[in-house]
């Protein structure tokens, strides 16, 4: 009997507990069973390889192709005419329905096209695209031929893109002429050209999807997507190549504290097994059903639950190029869910707050009929109780918070609805997902008692799907995540576990920013500000915001001799620099020019203390502070709101 058969009809109290215990007591047996849901070329005999610990490997002797499992397999299995992707773009007034058969044909062509450009197994292909089907097609085409894709969020500006080009060193970049935002057409091509100009590494070719809203001028290395997809190599297509389970499927960059992004290495086999399992046992979505995830393919939620999770399951996914509000109104999400019969919706709390702000009574919901909708999932930032209660009383379906990060690829903590719906506590993502041994540790690495806050860590080994290392940098992987508490993965989030075993995630313990569900690095914003010739030093903090969770604020010390009369101009220039260097999503809420920044005696800027003061929390002031009077002076500035 499969795990799913065992759960259906039996999901009464205690079932989750048993599955969870089993996953930790016998990870090999547990994940070997889950791996049976994947079509392997060579089924794995080694499930968990710990011979190279702390670098754990899942299914290390297994062989598969992830694209085959996400596309071909469903065509072969009778789902040819089932819709794989509903593309819905209110921004361009375009809708497109792509069946599994059509998806296979387009992915084969794109894979052949990549081959025609000399892309081979192990080569990197960078994808810098808006939310268009071609982005998903390129991802799958890479997976088909064993090329490693690296999708960069379209909202990032040239400097961020250049850093990713230099780290991933792609042979080919696939991009588009433009993205469409409600307020403007965003020209991608000049950003791409500028990024390549800044990067040391140069790609051999760029394939550009020309969109009618803004066509781009093509240069010598550029190829028009249309010509490319119609070209001889594309017409010949390409068949799936055999990949070892531990081969990389993709690199996804995420922000740390410094300006240098971390390239999360995602393997093929572990990821496929974990996502397939999660679709069934966490998200409760089966083959033939529709999942609507409103994120962007540039983020991990997009990778896992717009693209790979639903497609590996033989489900239908929705690719939505629009916003929660204004495209055209705050009923957009309800329209999509109704039109495509979504059984599960997934978005970020900030999107719900945006909808609620415009339509507090959710009156637009009454225009739509959502009989299929079973669950709303939320992730990307903490689901505050107020937003939870609003969503639950509006939709009358379980509203499920799930906590995870780019690094883990799928949820660490979540109410496991597909296994058993546990009672919901507002403000908590419920409890650890099977496979994740979540513990809260004090500064000495000792587990704390219930209700006591500490660093949320995961005891190694982590389950399949999670990062085995960082792309090209094992040392950074160990230093960033494994060295703080030997034997544990450091999540970077702080929180506590209550008496009932419910986890509460209270926020980052480092200086990583989370703006409207977008993870951004303090270091990148500070580097953009520090590049201004009038700036002596600066600090960026993420302060609490009702809509976006956090908004970035800069505190800047100017060089001696700069006149006060110049400050308004400098503030405007600094805000513009952040938009131009990092991206519009990082737009500063305010810039304050101050006399000095608070530091420890060793020179570390006390960002967290400043953030706590700005948020109106009780600030933790370290004993090692160099000059406490700096904080006293800054207090009124930090507490000022726009």
Binding positions for ligand AMP, rule: CB under 6 A: 254, 300, 379-383, 401-403, 405-406, 429, 491-493, 505, 508, 514, 519
- For 328, the token pair is 């055209």
Q: Which is nearer to ligand AMP, 240 or 259 (CB)?
A: 259
Helix (H/G/I), strand (E/B), else coil: 214: strand
Shortest reach from residue 157's CB to ligand COA, in Å? 9
Among ligand AMP, ligand COA, none, what binds residue 323 when CB lies within 5 to 8 Å by partner kind?
ligand COA
The answer to whether the CB of 272 falls within 8 A of the CB of 69 is yes
Q: Does the footprint of ligand COA cover residue 376 (CB under 6 A)?
A: no
Alpha-helix runs per DSSP H in 176-288: 188-198, 225-230, 232-236, 269-281
Shortest reach from residue 517's CB to ligand AMP, in Å? 7
Measured CA to CA, the distance from residue 532 to residue 573 in angstroms comes to 8
Shortest reach from residue 258's CB to ligand AMP, in Å? 16
Cα 218 to the chain's mean position, in Å? 31
Q: ∠ at Cα 562 (560, 565), nearest 5°?
A: 145
Give the binding range for ligand COA (CB under 6 A) out of 24-32, 347-355, 357-365, 562-570. Answer: 347-355
Measured CA to CA, the distance from residue 417 to residue 129 in angstroms comes to 33
Q: Which is nearer to ligand AMP, 203 or 492 (CB)?
A: 492
Closest CA to 427 of 507, 344, 345, 311: 507
Exactly one of 517, 523, 542, 552 binds ligand COA (CB under 6 A); that residue is 517
- For 213, the token pair is 């809203």
Exactly one of 584, 596, 621, 630 binds ligand COA (CB under 6 A); that residue is 584
Exactly one of 585, 597, 606, 614 binds ligand COA (CB under 6 A); that residue is 585
Measured CA to CA, the distance from residue 82 to residue 409 in angstroms comes to 27
Exactly one of 139, 348, 528, 543 binds ligand COA (CB under 6 A); that residue is 348
Burial class (CB in 10 A: 0-12, 13-18, 19+), 329: middle
Exactly one of 154, 269, 416, 598 binds ligand COA (CB under 6 A); that residue is 154
Q: Does the footprint of ligand COA cover residue 577 (CB under 6 A)?
A: no
Q: Does the footprint of ligand COA cover residue 349 (CB under 6 A)?
A: no
Cis bond upstream, residue 444 (ω within 30): no
Alpha-helix runs per DSSP H in 37-132: 66-67, 73-74, 100-116
Within 10 Å of residue 4's Cβ, how many Cβ atoms? 14
**Total of residues contacting ligand COA (CB under 6 A):** 27
Crossing angle of helices 385-395 and 349-358, in 10° steps, is: 70
Measured CA to CA, the distance from residue 595 to residue 597 in angstroms comes to 7
Shortest reach from residue 414's CB to ligand AMP, in Å? 8
Shortest reach from residue 187's CB to ligand AMP, in Å? 26
Tell me which DSSP letter residue 481 carries: I
The answer to whether the CB of 416 falls within 8 A of the CB of 16 is yes
Q: Does the footprint of ligand COA cover residue 541 (CB under 6 A)?
A: no
According to DSSP, the residues that pair with 552 across neighbouring strands are 542
Q: Which is nearer to ligand COA, 244 or 295 (CB)?
A: 295
Alpha-helix runs per DSSP H in 533-606: 567-581
Tell me the longest C-alpha to C-alpha distance in the chain: 77
Measured CA to CA, the distance from residue 588 to residue 530 in angstroms comes to 14
Burial class (CB in 10 A: 0-12, 13-18, 19+), 184: exposed
Exactly one of 3, 159, 254, 350 binds ligand COA (CB under 6 A); that residue is 350
Shortest reach from residue 306's CB to ligand COA, in Å? 10
Q: Does the footprint of ligand COA cover residue 324 (CB under 6 A)?
A: yes
Measured CA to CA, the distance from residue 543 to residue 533 in angstroms comes to 26
Measured CA to CA, the distance from residue 325 to residue 331 in angstroms comes to 7
Exactly one of 19, 110, 186, 541 binds ligand COA (CB under 6 A); that residue is 186
Exactly one of 183, 200, 618, 642 binds ligand COA (CB under 6 A); that residue is 183
Among ligand COA, ligand AMP, none, what binds residue 260 when CB lies within 5 to 8 Å by partner kind?
none
Shortest reach from residue 477's CB to ligand AMP, in Å? 15
Q: Which is nearer to ligand AMP, 229 or 381 (CB)?
A: 381
Shortest reach from residue 492's CB to ligand COA, in Å? 17
Q: Does the footprint of ligand COA cover residue 317 (CB under 6 A)?
A: no
Q: Does the footprint of ligand COA cover residue 460 (CB under 6 A)?
A: no
Q: Does the footprint of ligand COA cover residue 243 (CB under 6 A)?
A: no
Burial class (CB in 10 A: 0-12, 13-18, 19+), 51: exposed
Among ligand AMP, ligand COA, none, what binds residue 431 when CB lies within 5 to 8 Å by partner kind?
none
Among ligand COA, ligand AMP, none, what binds residue 493 when CB lies within 5 to 8 Å by partner kind?
ligand AMP
Shortest reach from residue 413's CB to ligand AMP, in Å? 8
Shortest reach from residue 458's CB to ligand AMP, in Å? 12
> Which residues are near ligand COA by CB under 6 A?
154-155, 179, 181, 183, 186, 294-296, 299, 301, 323-325, 347-348, 350-351, 354, 379-380, 516-518, 584-585, 587
């Amino acid at each position: 009997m499969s795990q799913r058969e065992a759960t259906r009809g039996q999901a009464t109290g205690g079932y989750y507990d048993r599955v969870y215990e089993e996953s930790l007591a016998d990870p090999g047996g547990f994940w070997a069973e889950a791996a049976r849901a994947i079509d392997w070329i060579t089924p794995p005999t080694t499930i968990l390889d710990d011979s190279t610990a702390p670098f754990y490997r899942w299914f290390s002797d297994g062989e598969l192709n992830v694209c085959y499992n996400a596309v071909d397999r469903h065509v072969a299995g009778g789902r040819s005419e089932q819709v794989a992707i509903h593309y819905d773009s209110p921004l361009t007034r375009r809708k497109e329905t792509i069946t599994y058969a059509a998806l296979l044909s387009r992915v084969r062509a794109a894979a052949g096209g990549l081959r025609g450009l000399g892309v081979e197994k192990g080569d990197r292909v960078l994808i810098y695209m808006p939310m268009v089907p071609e982005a998903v097609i390129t991802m799958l085409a890479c997976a088909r031929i064993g090329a490693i894709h690296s999708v960069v969020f379209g909202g990032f500006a040239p400097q961020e893109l250049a850093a990713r080009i230099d780290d991933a060193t792609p042979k080919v970049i696939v991009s588009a002429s433009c993205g469409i935002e409600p307020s403007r057409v965003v020209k991608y091509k000049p950003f791409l050209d500028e990024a390549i100009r800044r990067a040391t590494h140069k790609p051999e070719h760029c394939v550009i999807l020309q969109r009618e809203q803004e066509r781009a001028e093509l240069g010598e290395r550029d190829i028009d997507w249309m010509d490319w997809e119609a070209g001889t190599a594309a017409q010949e297509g390409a068949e799936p190549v055999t990949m070892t389970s531990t081969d990389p499927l993709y690199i996804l960059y995420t922000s740390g504290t410094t300006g240098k992004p971390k390239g999360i290495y995602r393997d093929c086999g572990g990821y496929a097994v974990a996502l397939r399992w999660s679709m069934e046992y966490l998200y409760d979505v089966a083959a033939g059903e529709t999942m609507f995830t409103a994120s962007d393919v540039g983020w991990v939620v997009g990778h896992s639950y717009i693209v790979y999770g639903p497609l590996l399951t033989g489900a239908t996914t929705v690719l939505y190029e629009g916003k929660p509000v204004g495209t055209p109104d705050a009923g957009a999400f309800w329209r999509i869910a109704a039109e495509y019969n979504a059984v599960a919706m997934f978005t970020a709390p900030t999107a719900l707050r945006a909808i609620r702000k415009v339509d507090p009574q959710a009156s637009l919901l009454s225009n739509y009929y959502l009989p299929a909708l079973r669950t709303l999932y939320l992730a990307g930032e903490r689901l505050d109780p107020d937003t939870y209660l609003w969503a639950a009383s509006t939709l009358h379906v379980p509203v499920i918070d799930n906590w995870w990060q780019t690094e883990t690829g799928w949820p660490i903590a979540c109410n496991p609805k597909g296994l058993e719906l546990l009672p919901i506590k507002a403000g908590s993502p419920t409890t650890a997902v099977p496979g994740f041994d979540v513990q809260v540790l004090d500064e000495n690495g000792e587990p704390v008692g219930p209700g006591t806050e500490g660093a949320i860590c995961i005891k190694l080994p982590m389950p399949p799907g999670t990062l085995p290392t960082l792309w090209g940098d094992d040392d950074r992987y160990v230093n960033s995540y494994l060295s703080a508490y030997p034997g544990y993965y450091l999540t970077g989030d702080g929180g506590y576990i209550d008496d009932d075993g419910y986890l509460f995630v209270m926020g980052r313990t480092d200086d990583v920013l989370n703006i409207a569900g977008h993870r951004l690095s303090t270091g990148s914003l500070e580097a953009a500000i520090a590049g201004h010739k009038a700036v002596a030093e600066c600090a960026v903090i993420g302060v609490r915001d009702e809509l976006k969770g956090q908004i970035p604020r800069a505190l800047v010390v100017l060089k001696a001799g700069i006149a006060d009369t110049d400050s308004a101009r400098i503030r405007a220039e600094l805000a513009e620099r952040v938009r131009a260097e990092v991206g519009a999503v990082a737009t500063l809420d305010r810039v304050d020019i101050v006399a000095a920044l608070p530091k420890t005696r060793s020179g570390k800027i006390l960002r967290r203390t400043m953030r706590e003061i700005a948020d109106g929390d009780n600030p933790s002031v370290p004993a090692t502070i160099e000059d406490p009077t700096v904080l006293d002076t800054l207090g009124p500035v930090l507490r000022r709101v726009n």
